[in-house]
A and B are shown apart, each in its own frame.
Chain A
């Protein structure tokens, strides 16, 4: 297939390999942090990290220097292909440390773990964290942190050479949302501003957590996992280890919530324009859904009687709701005792996700709004066939083409969940757990399979199932089109 592309000159292969090379250099740079951490803590894992960093850097250097592009032009195909490829390549190199660390994983498990990290799913195959080194914890956190805002977006911010239309194509292929709003005229400025917001939020969160009961290392790891809405924790029980601390939970709720807000909106607020919050339909819907869910959760918990204090009726459900809707996937204690209705609501929230243009997963509230408004119009049209009703979001009329694209997206999303779930049952996973895991992975939530009572972590899922889930995570993170377009025959033919 690749040869066909080169022959047909559909894709600028040399340019793609060169950029992939640069990206690998960036990844190897990030691998240095766990290496140093291991050295500081006197752990033997520094060796696998150091060698992985060297190998990645070497491959990166070879690709970046050996490939001499004749043209710098990058079209739509290049954008899609490169973005999809980069996420896979990043995971492929990111798994190396897991293979050789003090608690080695199989290739399947390591790939799953890396993909789950980069896509900020936070689904883990690790069930016992006792033997894990600090380096491994940090690497899992860093993977989520880079993946949260986006690998490509990071590259656009740091490599000035991508500040042209080719960079635009990559931006479009990676950034979540329907229309990919830019916040500043040039793509590198947009990327820089977004990363600056992201970085500042992370630093504030680290400091806040550090000021609480956490030590610096744990604070960093949790901050990375929270703001990226990833959901990896440094303890095998996850956030339950901090169940006693109202402070930690409150801080995490706020920052998970922020991670689910459109970063363009945060940028505008940071520049003093708070009016945008009130006029933004999606943000209001985001708040509204959380409010309604909180009431439903509280009633449901009261009904099942699984509570012993006010905290279990207010803070815990709120934490769980924000964690689910932003696709972070932290769970509070006793979540599984709250009953099937809550589990069903969890499905709904995983499907919804938070705002487009945030680090969260799911289908995004924007699209759900389009869907509901359009459905209402269709119903209205049954009564008044000649009435013209348009879908209006954020005071702007949306073109019918965009609405149809959104509905196509939602249909494909559901089809993928269904086919993913069915494929998992073929691997021998029980029906409910299959669909829950498929949903959890495509929405990048990563709520443990344990929630449905099937095993403690994703470790229990058979190897084939893990590959299927990894693919679902990637498809979900890149919002379906970027991956599925690669399967279109005309992508590979002129």
Chain B
């Protein structure tokens, strides 16, 4: 697939590396020669120096003949213009990153389409959605759904005293038919577990299950479900505004920000929530607001460090659920180990969403990429493929992968050793990063 990416910022570079590793033809356009030369020398892609909103640069990148054009420069209007030019030159599908809800509004979608933008990506919106999911399922770290929730993959941190701590996987599946432990994240490493592996305190377990049984996980992992209602948001950023507007009446929000001018503007954008001017790192101020009564703390300032540390402080003050926006990709792995409930990153969300879009056109494989060093993919078994030849236990599968569940005729079910995969099944596969191409061989 020929893909042209305009803008080599964090989202653009991240996507380019990711897609290049997936053996796609990548052209990357940016005005910054230095930044491009680093990428050009180290990754399997081609770069064009030029203005993404100019005909000449887009022609040079052959945007007219690409299958997918992705505009992810920092400026919304540039992205729209770039998409418009690319579409007019003949690009099959265009995606633009936007910075306001305006272009996403269904009322405007026909106009947006008319401008040559097929899809829009709004990272702040994606982040807000992610935060709401995390607040609703507050005992879960990661949450993926397949086929409208027919199959669910949930990442849960194992607390001390949970009934399954110390249990071997083999014994666990013997008594719990409705769960499949697909991956274990221990310290910094992700393991694809075997029957002999033990579950230990502090592990993040990735369970595959169906919707009916998801609630049983709460007791299994030693958690108690809390209903979240009152939420303190630190930082009146765009994500915060989006979050407040998206959530509606479900939650009660308080936003605290140290920029008075911003605080003055906020009531216009978020009419129903309480705005407080002050520094959320000030513990006295937090006590004054009534931090003790809060159910959750969401840190959304521009500084990743501030977000991480204030979440840790909030945890110490007794808040059950904390969510931090960590924009420095390097910090994510560290932050996840720091007992912060959920870490979100706009750039990763945007890239994975675009990635998903690319895969939609090629429906046989789709991949989520929320884990640091493991890939989760939904792959369709083709007729006559190796995977359909025998029940799972008789297949000689590679060690880096596990088959978690499948969807047959729209119904989700888990995979055990006795399952015989049939052609047309959509199989949920979890494998270590970089081994997806080995896995795909079984399905073609």
Contact = CB atoms under 8 A, between A and B. Distances in A.
Interface in B20-34: 20-21, 23, 25-27, 33-34
B312 interface: no
The residue among A163, A184, A186 with the most chain B CB atoms within 10 A of its own CB is A186
B42 A165 contact: yes
Interface string A156-184: 00000001110111001000000110101
B2 interface: yes
A185 interface: yes
Contact of B25 (A165, A167, A189, A396): A189
A168 B43 contact: yes
B15 to A, nearest CB: 14
Given A172-B41, A399-B33, A182 B46 contact: yes
Interface string B331-363: 000000000000000000000000000000000
A187 interface: yes
B41 A168 contact: yes
Contacts of A399: 33-34
Nearest to A180: B41
A164 B44 CA distance: 6
A165 B44 contact: yes
Nearest to B37: A179
Interface string B313-338: 00000000000000000000000000
B26 A185 contact: yes
A172 B38 CA distance: 12
B305 interface: no
A165 B46 contact: no
A224 B43 CA distance: 33
Interface in A366-399: 396, 399
Interface string B42-64: 11111001000000000000000
A9 to B, nearest CB: 18
Interface residues of A, number: 17
Contacts, number: 37
Interface residues of B, number: 18
Contacts of A187: 44
A185 B41 contact: no
A12 B115 CA distance: 50
Nearest to A163: B44
B40 A396 contact: no
**Which of B2, B34, B44 has its CB near the most chain A CB atoms (within 10 A)?**
B44
Contact of B2 (A163, A169, A185): A185
Interface string B361-395: 00000000000000000000000000000000000
Contacts of B34: 399
A165 B43 contact: yes
A185 B46 CA distance: 4
A397 B45 CA distance: 22
Contacts of A169: 42
Most buried by B among A167, A172, A182, A396: A182
A165 B46 CA distance: 12
Contacts of B41: 168, 172, 180
Nearest to A183: B46
Nearest to B47: A182
A180 B33 CA distance: 14
A186 B25 contact: yes
Contacts of A189: 25
Nearest to A179: B37
Contact of B42 (A168, A182, A396): A168
A184 B44 contact: no
Nearest to A166: B44
Contacts of A396: 49
A184 B23 CA distance: 13
Contact of A186 (B33, B37, B42, B44): B44
Interface string B259-299: 00000000000000000000000000000000000000000
A466 to B, nearest CB: 35
Contacts of B23: 163, 186
A180 to B, nearest CB: 7
The 6 A-B residue pairs whose C-beta atoms are closest, nearest first, are A185-B25, A185-B46, A182-B46, A187-B44, A185-B26, A165-B43
Given A172-B41, A179-B37, A185-B45, 7 more contacts: A165-B42, A184-B25, A185-B25, A186-B23, A186-B44, A396-B49, A399-B34
5 contacts: A165-B43, A168-B41, A172-B41, A186-B20, A186-B44
Interface of A: 163-165, 167-169, 172, 179-180, 182, 184-187, 189, 396, 399
